[in-house]
Structure 1
Amino acid sequence: MALFNVRVYGLLINERNEILISDEQEYGYQFTKFPGGGLELGEGLIDGLKREFQEECLAEIEVLSHFYTTGFYVKSAFNDSQIISVYYMVRSISPLNLNFKNKVFDFDGEGDVLQSFRWIPLSELNVEHMTFPIDQHVVKLLKQQ
């Protein structure tokens, strides 16, 4: 049986032309990605993205437009599923009250699952900032715009 893992991510650019990225530690790995995550059964893409931002960033977002959907095969780094990721341009409706970091993997607290957020100027964003191949592709697309 084929397993598909549908993921949805938000590209949030602030008024200083910086994009929000998430540093995370889970499953014994550290990785950097865009905010978002896995779709839950019975959930639409936009509802899933809004839920992810509420859970991760404690923020309400508005989806502005579709940006990219995975166009190539990617196997999950964590299991045997095939990853399909959908990216949307989003904006925050409520203020982001997060403890923004300047250093990578600068987590507060202890535990198996940790997360911190950073703003990166779009002019400085490059593929090396991202861990996963689809995010790296999206960085290239963002740089072309």
Structure 2
Amino acid sequence: MTESQQNDGRLYPAHPTVAVSAIIFKEERVLMIKRSKEPNKGKWSIPGGGIELGETLDQAVKREVREECSIEIEVERVFYTTENIIRDDDGRVKYHYVLVDMLAKYAGGETKAQSDAEECRWVTAEELSELDITPRLRAVLERALI
């Protein structure tokens, strides 16, 4: 464990981290990112991250999308709320997130991977089946695409 991992509070946390993410639509496609950091490094996900002190849900998700994908979005509404608890081999809580998934529309900018995103890609519902994503996210996206 690096010093930055110890100090950011997400790895082996004292309390859950509240995070937001965006299911962003542009025409018939949804924006996916390939994660460059743990948890789930190398898996495909939707853009998002932790809420900073004093931010609203809308402000946080707009900032995270801008930081990870360089685009602007129009937030529509809260879509789904869940939690993700990842334990280590000894059963200790390694990560604990309360996740608020928001529905949003693309509002402008050129999609470019930055920050926690190794790659950004607009995909169709059919192309989602080819991506390595977590079962939780797959279930959420299936609900959003109905």
TM above 0.5: yes
Consecutive unaligned residues in structure 2, runs of 5 or more: 1-12
User: Among residues 35, 39, 56, which one is paired with 2:51 in the alignment?
Assistant: 39
Displacement of 1:88 in angstroms is 1.2
The residue number in structure 1 matching 2:32 is 21
Count of matched residue pairs:
129
Aligned pairs (5 A) from 1:66-81: 66-70=78-82, 73-76=83-86, 80-81=94-95
Alpha-carbon distance in 1 for matches of 2:118, 2:65 = 13
Correspondence for 1:82: 96
SS at match of 2:94: coil
Alignment partners' CA distance in 2, 1:98 and 1:92:
10
Any gaps of 5 or more consecutive residues in structure 1? Answer: 101-107
Higher strand share: 2
| Residues 1:121 and 2:124 are matched in the alignment | yes
Cα distance change of structure 1 residues 118 and 89 upon mapping to structure 2, 3 Å threshold: same
**Residue 80 and residue 57 in structure 1: after superposition, are their counterparts in 2 closer, same or farther (change >3 A)?**
same
TM-score normalised by structure 2 residue count: 0.72
Offset at residue 18 of structure 1 (A): 1.0
Query: Residues 40 and 48 of structure 1 are in contact (CA less than 8 Å); yes or no, is this contact kept in structure 2?
Result: yes
Q: Percent identity?
A: 28
Summarize the Cα distance change of 1:119–1:113 in structure 2 as closer, same or farther, 3 Å threshold.
closer
Contact (CA 8 Å) 1:22, 1:116: kept in 2 or not?
yes
- Verify: 1:141 aligned to 2:143, yes or no: yes
TM-score, structure 1 as length reference: 0.72
Structure 1 runs, 4 residues or longer, greater than 2 Å off: 76-82, 123-126, 128-134
